[in-house]
Structure 1
Amino acid sequence: MSPQNITLLWSALFAAALVAGTGLKLWLATRQIRHVRAHRAEVPAAFAAVIKLPAHEKAADYAVARTRFGMWHTLFSAAVLLGWTFLGLLQALADWSAAHFGAGLLAQLLLLVEFALIGAVIELPWTLWQTFRLEAQFGFNRNTPALFIADMLKNLIVSALLLLPLGLLVLWLMQATALWWLWSWAAFAVFSLAMMVAFPMFIAPLFNRFDPLADGEVKSRAQALMQRCSFALKGLYVMDGSRRSAHANAYFTGLGAARRVVLFDTLLKQLNAAQIEAVLAHEVGHYKRHHIQQRLIVTLLLSLAGFALIGWLSKQVWFYTGLGYTPNMLGGNTAAALILFMLAVPVFGVFFSPLSASWSRKHEFEADAYASEHSDARQLGAALVRMYQDNASTLTPDPLYVRFYYSHPPALQRLARMGALTALAGTTEQQHAQAAGTQP
């Protein structure tokens, strides 16, 4: 096959994947909106005793609004991608940068920086709308313009300090050795592992306050849980998530000595001590079931395959020309190769999203099972329902949409799997009786 035909074939394949992927996303979003709206007027029977209709309707409206926002953003992103590639915007940016800064190593790094900054500026209106319009509309946003700007500047500085040296190293390796992709992957692996230690200890505190969990019933239960599970960690921390959002969550982070569990302050306000203990058991379950290690290994293996692939593609003229870029095969294409690869991978990656989502949901089921073994499944079920309610998470998502996008199983599936549906009803009846004064 002639080089011209290979270029046309690659262009056609990329265009077809972009159209198909965009169409798939829009179709799934339409299904989600239709399904959520169809079930808006009635709380699912399993939750009728604990979720009131107004809360269920709010969750439905929130899901529809977020999904509709996502549809517009999908179309916008596809248009931007076409601009960078077939419409020649990356070529124009590279030509302008070369005319002003040349084609040396630092010039290649500047091209990466220019591309990243333009991308950030393009995305900024969408982030502003989502934060100060969509989230505020449903009562979740607590961010302020001043805090938003401060976060943005901190992100810029931290990203520059961390990513510029890594980018410079990769670009230098691309010029220095044919096995640059292997050495670059090794640098990426070391960087990723280092970040798992550095992020919770040094970076996250730049954006949020992390206070040790105060003495009391929650801490006592947490410490007893850690002893039962033979789980050692650096500490239990409470994060001031309420500064930016009313959403509640908990997460496990860190590696080795930096390993810790973080609770949002909003979570402490929403759940009682027994429920928080069950949520902590779920987070410990992720570690005890080796989910953290599995995800790290898969990430490193996929990144190795990605570096190997770009090592080959960067030598192929059709890879550049098929995406609207005219390379200089004598040199000066290192940054363009990285950018084009970053633009192309997500176009094809959308078709593999059900695999990653399914794997993540499997891990959530396993963590729920672990939590049910080491804490009260009834309390975990009650905690999940309360979090679904307070976060306005819809209880009636479209099943196919779930398969593609949901990293966590829907509430009904989670509670049914852990056998907490009937226990949840019993807990609710007991709570109502206590509130009425019929039980001690």
Structure 2
Amino acid sequence: MPTSPDYSPSMLLTLAFAMALVAGLALKFWLASRQIRHVARHRATVPAPFAQHITLAAHQKAADYTVTKGRLGMLEMVLGCVGLLGWTLLGGLDALNQALLATLEGGMWQQLALLVAFVAISGLIDLPLSLYQTFVVEERFGFNKMTLRLWLADALKGLAVGVAIGLPIAALILWLMGAAGPLWWLWAWCFWMGFNLLLMVIYPTFIAPLFNKFQPLEDESLKARVTALMQRCGFSAKGLFVMDGSRRSAHANAYFTGFGAAKRVVFYDTLLRQLAPGEVEAVLAHELGHFKHRHIIQRIVTMFALSLAGFALLGWLSTQVWFYTGLGVRPNISLDPAITAAPNDALALLLFMLVVPVFTFFISPLFSQQSRRHEFQADAYAVTQASGADLSSALLKLYEDNASTLTPDPVYVKFYYSHPPATERLARMQTPAHP
């Protein structure tokens, strides 16, 4: 009588990873294909609810922009899948680790070198598509305002910030993994959360100005209007600023940044050029709705909980030999008791960051749904504090100016969209508030 094969944990992980990777890629392709076909099929006619506000030319531009990005996204999916296989099951990460071990032996410097080399190689692999997205796709549709010189300056600044902040953080986490005992992951999580909270405070003041200029809002009438709105809503901010977003893109936006006393309101200069004062007030009221409903706090708590679970899982997986071998990596194990093996901590970090998204992709619709619910709640709050007509007209202008399609595929929306489609948002604004 035939016996069933004896699958080791390593083999089971390999099979699970390969199946999840293939299933995820197939699902992504199916969703992207649906989106492209649906948008192209509705390209010829502006949807009836928008016919009086959106021109056919603008609607077709949005359709073409969406289709172009969708096709580029499909290429990016394939390359990402190939790259992930190359790093894991095909032995790329293992080869890089062995080469660095031969050069630097084991220890903190070898582990940091592994992290840096991985980031550098991955960045170089992603570079052609990034350049194509910015200087071909965005340029073709009139959104890119960046010169190559500015792009290079941003890249160098980003590299400097990454080295200045990322390397010390990586070194501390690696040190904790090796020196803090079995509960290192709990200490690492506490540090990571503390750093993220600190970053919310220092980012607006010290990091963001490295990339953009922030000037105080000078329009006194708009400033008075916005200040009155924030007072009505019981919200205080450190200042109202205008960011030179037009240096890089024609896309418009407004956002809150910072945490606690460091909160500030930031308007893109493109937004102020495109919207009337009442519409700017309505957009800001929507953002205030997120604070009124404590969405920011909810997201921070969710991030805390998920990261705690992630660190705990990493703490366990990093001690399992099958976790490495099942993903194509030879862990650093010494067969001689008198010889201390090189640490596997950097390997564990990289493998975890590479593999976990393959499995968590399938639950991403849950987070998208929650985000859309928050957007509906913020819209409902905004129409109680500002003009609903102004909010509707502002959204229509932003959809048009950002070339956001008005006819997305419903299934694609449920899986990916963090914001509801324009049709649903405007329909909700004309009905009683929803919980």
**TM-score normalised to structure 1 length:** 0.94
1:212-236, CA deviations, whole angstroms, 9 ceiling, x for partnerless residues? 1113321121011011111111111
List structure 1 runs of 4+ shifted beyond 4 angstroms: 1-4
Aligned twin of 1:66: 69
Aligned twin of 1:194: 198
Aligned twin of 1:274: 278
Aligned twin of 1:419: 430
In terms of mean alpha carbon deviation, does 212-221 or 357-366 score higher? 212-221
After superposition, residues 90-169 of structure 1 pair within 5 angstroms as 90-169=93-172
* Inter-partner Cα distance in structure 2 for 1:349 and 1:143: 34
* 2:399 counterpart (375, 384, 388): 388
* Matching residue's letter, 1:201: T
After superposition, residues 9-408 of structure 1 pair within 5 angstroms as 9-176=12-179, 177-329=181-333, 330-408=341-419
1:71-115, CA deviations, whole angstroms, 9 ceiling, x for partnerless residues? 000000000000001110001100111111111012111111111
* Inter-partner Cα distance in structure 1 for 2:127 and 2:216: 34
SS at match of 1:263: strand
Aligned twin of 1:435: none
Matched-pair contact (CA < 8 Å) for 1:3–1:318: no
* Inter-partner Cα distance in structure 2 for 1:236 and 1:89: 48
Matched-pair contact (CA < 8 Å) for 2:255–2:265: yes
* Inter-partner Cα distance in structure 2 for 1:277 and 1:217: 11
SS at match of 2:313: helix
Q: CA deviation at 1:403?
A: 0.7
Q: CA deviation at 1:249?
A: 0.7
Matched-pair contact (CA < 8 Å) for 2:35–2:408: yes
Matched-pair contact (CA < 8 Å) for 2:68–2:137: yes
1:267-305, CA deviations, whole angstroms, 9 ceiling, x for partnerless residues? 000000000000010111111110111101100110000
* Matching residue's letter, 2:160: I
Matched-pair identity in %: 58
Q: CA deviation at 1:188?
A: 0.2
Q: CA deviation at 1:3?
A: 9.1
* Inter-partner Cα distance in structure 2 for 1:319 and 1:2: 20
* Inter-partner Cα distance in structure 1 for 2:301 and 2:325: 34
SS at match of 2:265: strand
Matched-pair contact (CA < 8 Å) for 1:97–1:107: yes
* Inter-partner Cα distance in structure 1 for 2:302 and 2:164: 27
SS at match of 1:238: strand
Matched-pair contact (CA < 8 Å) for 2:107–2:342: no
SS at match of 1:211: strand
In terms of mean alpha carbon deviation, does 223-232 or 27-36 score higher? 223-232
* Inter-partner Cα distance in structure 1 for 2:234 and 2:8: 61
* Inter-partner Cα distance in structure 1 for 2:368 and 2:375: 11
* Inter-partner Cα distance in structure 2 for 1:128 and 1:178: 43
* Inter-partner Cα distance in structure 2 for 1:411 and 1:419: 13
* Inter-partner Cα distance in structure 2 for 1:35 and 1:376: 33
* Inter-partner Cα distance in structure 2 for 1:375 and 1:235: 21
Change beyond 3 A, Cα 1:314–1:3? farther
* Inter-partner Cα distance in structure 1 for 2:241 and 2:376: 25
* Inter-partner Cα distance in structure 2 for 1:370 and 1:252: 17
SS at match of 2:331: coil
